[in-house]
Structure 1
Amino acid sequence: MLSSPPSHASPPFSATRSPTLSPSSSTSISRSTSLNRNHPGAVNRSSSIGSRPRPPGPSPFSLPSVISPMPERYASDPLPGWASRDNSPMVSPNNEGAATGGGGGTWPYSTANSSQSSVASNVTSATQRTIDPTFGMSAGNTIEKPDYSEAKIVVAMVGLPARGKSYLSNKLMRYLLWLEYEVKVFNVGQLRRKKYRKMAESTGEKADQSANFFDANNADASKEREAMAAECLEDLISWLKAGGNVGIHDATNTTRKRRQALVDRIKREPGLTLFFIESICTDPATIEANIAVKVASGDPDYDGQDKTQAEADFRARIRHYEDKYEPLDETLDKEVTFCKMVNVGQHVTCNRIDGYLQSRIAFYLMNLHLTPRSIFFTRHGESQYNVDGQIGGDAPLSKQGEQYMRALPSLIKEKIGDRPLTVWTSTLRRTIQTASLLPYEKLTWKSLDELDAGVCDGMTYEEIEEYYPEDYAARDDDKFNYRYRGGESYRDVVIRLEPVIIELERQENILVVCHQAVLRCLYAYFHNLSQEELPYLKIPLHTVIKLTPKAYGCLEERFELPIEAVDTNRVRPPTAKVLEAVKRDRNEGVSPSTTRPPSAIPPEWST
């Protein structure tokens, strides 16, 4: 379970001079800010099963002899140009203490000792073994959602129209939802349009929502706008009281009077804190692009108007706001908690950041940028374990996987062109092999290792069902939250991937070569998908997924290479609960493996 550090804990980021964002300080941070990889939320994935008894299957700390050894060209020397992330040691071939990968297995350049190889080579089938599958190891368990009930923050956006407030609101919501906070955006403009649409339906008269409505000299319209901003805030507060964690007040809030009204209202609610986020844009090209997106997005304010007329009206609206705009000021607003962002992350000023969640929000915001870029995802080439139906491990590529390794560079070169690219891999050999021929800078991340299957590492799903029937059924019931014995759940993987997400937001063109479960988590973040969908996302082998971040989401393209590979995707099992039936069968002395309906056993499985 992810627990929150005490409120006095240092914020999880540092700048060039490593400032501490204390409640009484204001800190200005540029894009040169460095990333502290030891911030709260990062998980050290170093769990192992030690000497505990385990069911049939190869040892997680050795390479079974039935798997072809790593090609000689990879076993002799570390791959050129390879650096290490997460302080993972670059281990030489003679280093007997090589770091192990997440699902077991030795570092790609270490040699398993002879006794381990001997044990692995003499493994017999599951039906020939007699073993108590529960001996020495507690059962796998379902991980509960962290208790964030005390986290109550009102995030109030500040800024002129077409400055990216809604973009930042939705980015922040996606990030915090991914971390399992309850988050909702309350957009004042949407509330206004909804109210006036209902009014038009009941009266037949369409309200004036042209630029004149936003003129500060229009007293009646000003009162209406203030009333709707207050109503939107009340909806937000009610939602927080009902169990929400972070409510985002997406409005202009451009005057000090409006912001003071927010401060005074929140002060009357014990347990709520207020955090302003101001978005300033000084780049004319970006502003023009934002105006074009606003007009072309089907905004109801400009329904039925031609593009030229709509753009002219929207520019007039912006000028009305500019006349009364009062930016946040480090002196005049020194008692207020805020982050002021210039050109989305080019320069960030933080004032009175206090507490764990506020620090996480500030840290996330300071790593965002608007530079056009592409993020490429691909799984490693098909591995020998994929072919044999085993999970986890540190197996090398199969023959088809090696074909993918050789074909990948030309595809990436075609899609990236002459732009710079950095390649990230896990520490497991199948990803390092897959990326070995790519002519780009490479970094390894321990955090990108595959979901740790614990004592089930190296087993097939048929063996897991026979020797750990309760675990097998529990994972069917709740795949996101189920944690393998001595291993991980998808929830655990999401937590340890937070530093990767932050760095993906911070970097430009990246190719991530890793594993199915990990890519499911990363893909779900960029597409804002639910926990229920995440464990069943289809991420096929020998396919490159290209994501291009846009104003309101990601443009996705998929490129499948014509190289045969096994299908490791598992369809969602039937919704009927099977765990209680397995427990009942065990209590009654019935073999669990004979009671599961055939429909509950998909033909292909995945981690």
Structure 2
Amino acid sequence: MSTTSAIDSDDEGGELFNGFGSAPMSRSTSQKRTSKRWSFHNNTRPNLQDMPSAASIARRLSDITGEDGVHEEMSVSVLGGGQLYSTESGRLFHAGKIIISLAGLPGRGKTHLSVSLTRYLRWLGVKTHSFHLGNYRRASAEDDITHDLFVPSPNSKKANDIRNKIVNECLSDILNFFKNDKGQVAIYDAVNALPEYRLELHQRFKELNIQVLFIESLVTDDSIIMKNMEEAARSSPDYLSWDYQKAYKDYSERIKTLTPYYKEMGAEKESELSYIKFINFGERIELHNSNYGYLINKVVFYLMNSRIKSGSVFFARCYKNSLEYTQDPPLDEEGLKYSRDLAATLFDHLKSQGKHYIKELDEIKERLRPLAPARTLSVEERHPAAGVDGVDINSLVVWTSVKQRTVETTKFFAERNVKIRHRIQLSQKNPGIVGGLSEEEIEQKFPNEYDHYQRDPYHYRFSRSESYHDLAIKIEPLILEMERMSGDILIIADDTILKVFYGYLMSCSCYDIPYLNFSTDEIIEVKFNAYSNSATRIPITSHEK
């Protein structure tokens, strides 16, 4: 693996000087690309104190549907909802620059892993970007190129030239990300089949004072490979508008073509490399040369909680979301109707998607119909040990806060023996001294505090209150639990909680999260996908008893 591009001396001690060759990197706009080179050159930290209040009002979002922002350019230096601090350079000062290079055959979940890692690290405020070699291949490949293009040393000169070109372009963009965009973590999503390629990659970036970590995704479970192949045939950008059967066959042939060339990491000459073997997507993890720093240890911790995701996360606002923080009345008749309509609407939606476990739930309901009202859940059922839920992809778990009205909203789910989990972390944001006040009253009584809040509603907290950022830190254990789970999850909570969860799953800027709008007449569904998550609305319809 080689490249003919280089980057001039970095202003941080020339760390990228003469990298990957000696010729200046071409920035020609004539190059055919799926998108422009990643460049986020505005690295100044937003001056929130000098921003007019109207600037924040203008950020109100009219729609929360669509695809997530995990591949979007980073327009501000502070992006993540869970970021603990920021620096002028945009890099966490105790972590350095890191390239995470993936390795593994197709169908092993590398793209899913790169995207989910990008989402998590951005949430922590780390300037991170995924560089998918497949994007560069799709931009450069021609129709008459066969699977020979995926072989490390193609027999065809044309395929070999294209292969070298796309690798050079991708690595040049990674270097540009570190130098000009002040990036901190670049994730290189490629097969990286041969030890000599991996060694050269390691040596080149090491010379530039960039830490290199390899993550090799290995799969020994054929059922995981089959599932990944089916997902790729349906949703990979390689197979847009393809017939599913043809796409599946083509992807299978790609894997068969490349398999004889792939060499698993662990050869003696790779002994100096730092790498993680990620086996069966979290079933087992092996660390090699694990003298890691803070940020890479966060990556390892995330991997320990990561699984191939299936199913959806559903968001529903709790009844009477506008109640004061200290109030906790039981549901009234309208609240019970809302609970019934919510459950029936979700069950109808799941049935329409062919969810087989819904039929089983209906059978359970019929068996329970003559019995007494649902019993109170035990402590073990409300708060089970980690790893109990989400083992089966055909399952539904409902999370609620410990507020009485959210617990009672699960009544019609409990009737069908759906698992209900009460999470104290899902309690709404504490408004402090402004509790029960309208926005106009807050502005009148606390004009200075209100002005600060308008400038940064995500981080600012009134006296004795919580901020959205506080909620983000509080729910991090639930985010990791959600990452471990398969199947469907319904979260019933105050909209302040839903905004933060949605912000994580859809890679929203922390400056957008306070303005997300959740209505009580709809359910928001976030679907997991290897390349990007997507959100849609499900109107809650009225159902008779």
* Structure 1 residue 304: Cα displacement: 9.3
Query: Which residue of structure 2 lines up, in the alignment, with residue 451 of structure 1?
Result: 429
Structure 1 CA distance for aligned equivalents of residues 535 and 445 of structure 2: 44
| TM score, norm. by length of structure 2 | 0.66
Q: For residue 259 of structure 2, give the secondary structure of its aligned residue in structure 1.
A: helix
The answer to whether the aligner puts 1:213 opposite 2:149 as a matched pair is yes
Structure 1 residues 318-337: aligned runs within 5 Å: 318-329=255-266, 333-337=270-274
Structure 1 CA distance for aligned equivalents of residues 344 and 143 of structure 2: 57
* Structure 1 residue 559: Cα displacement: 4.0
The answer to whether the aligner puts 1:538 opposite 2:517 as a matched pair is yes
Query: Which residue of structure 1 lines up, in the alignment, with residue 451 of structure 2?
Result: 473
Structure 1: which amino acid aligns with 2:428?
E
| TM score, norm. by length of structure 1 | 0.60
Answer whether contact 1:256 1:326 (CA < 8 A) is retained.
yes
Query: Which residue of structure 2 lines up, in the alignment, with residue 252 of structure 1?
Result: 191
Q: For residue 265 of structure 1, give the secondary structure of its aligned residue in structure 2.
A: helix
Answer whether contact 1:379 1:431 (CA < 8 A) is retained.
no
Structure exhibiting the larger radius of gyration computed from Cα positions: 1
Query: Which residue of structure 2 lines up, in the alignment, with residue 166 of structure 1?
Result: 111
Structure 1: which amino acid aligns with 2:298?
R
Query: Which residue of structure 1 lines up, in the alignment, with residue 506 of structure 2?
Result: 527
Structure 1 residues 451 and 334, CA gap change in structure 2 (3 angstroms): farther
Structure 2 CA distance for aligned equivalents of residues 149 and 470 of structure 1: 31
Coordinate RMSD, CA, aligned: 3.2
Query: Which residue of structure 1 lines up, in the alignment, with residue 481 of structure 2?
Result: 503
Structure 2 CA distance for aligned equivalents of residues 308 and 410 of structure 1: 35
The answer to whether the aligner puts 1:560 opposite 2:540 as a matched pair is yes
Identity %: 30
Answer whether contact 1:379 1:513 (CA < 8 A) is retained.
yes
Structure 1 residues 398-477: aligned runs within 5 Å: 399=332, 400-405=334-339, 407-411=341-345, 415=350, 417=358, 418=361, 420-435=395-410, 438-439=413-414, 440-477=418-455
Structure 1 residues 332 and 426, CA gap change in structure 2 (3 angstroms): farther
Structure 2 CA distance for aligned equivalents of residues 447 and 247 of structure 1: 32
Structure 1 residues 487-498: aligned runs within 5 Å: 487-498=465-476
Answer whether contact 2:140 2:162 (CA < 8 A) is retained.
no
Q: For residue 484 of structure 1, give the secondary structure of its aligned residue in structure 2.
A: coil
Q: How many residues align?
A: 405
Query: Which residue of structure 1 lines up, in the alignment, with residue 36 of structure 2?
Result: none
* Structure 1 residue 145: Cα displacement: 4.8
Structure 1 residues 26-175: aligned runs within 5 Å: 145-147=85-87, 148-150=91-93, 151=95, 152-175=97-120
| Aligned match for 1:547, one of 494, 513, 526 | 526
Q: Deviations over 1:77-112 (max 9, x none)?
A: xxxxxxxxxxxxxxxxxxxxxxxxxxxxxxxxxxxx
With 434-443 and 479-488 compared, the bigger mean Cα shift is at: 434-443
Structure 2 CA distance for aligned equivalents of residues 438 and 317 of structure 1: 44
Answer whether contact 1:454 1:488 (CA < 8 A) is retained.
yes
Query: Which residue of structure 2 lines up, in the alignment, with residue 192 of structure 1?
Result: 137
The answer to whether the aligner puts 1:264 opposite 2:195 as a matched pair is no
Answer whether contact 1:547 1:557 (CA < 8 A) is retained.
no
Q: Deviations over 1:498-522 (max 9, x none)?
A: 2111101112333322110110111
Query: Which residue of structure 2 lines up, in the alignment, with residue 344 of structure 1?
Result: 281
* Structure 1 residue 247: Cα displacement: 0.5
* Structure 1 residue 358: Cα displacement: 1.3
Structure 1 CA distance for aligned equivalents of residues 339 and 255 of structure 2: 52
The answer to whether the aligner puts 1:512 opposite 2:491 as a matched pair is yes
Q: For residue 145 of structure 2, give the secondary structure of its aligned residue in structure 1.
A: coil
Structure 2 CA distance for aligned equivalents of residues 305 and 483 of structure 1: 51
Structure 1 CA distance for aligned equivalents of residues 248 and 408 of structure 2: 52
Structure 1 portions without partners, runs of 5+ = 1-142, 197-205, 564-607
Structure 1 residues 371 and 251, CA gap change in structure 2 (3 angstroms): closer
Structure 2 CA distance for aligned equivalents of residues 314 and 402 of structure 1: 49
Structure 2 portions without partners, runs of 5+ = 1-82, 351-356, 362-393
Q: For residue 163 of structure 1, give the secondary structure of its aligned residue in structure 2.
A: coil
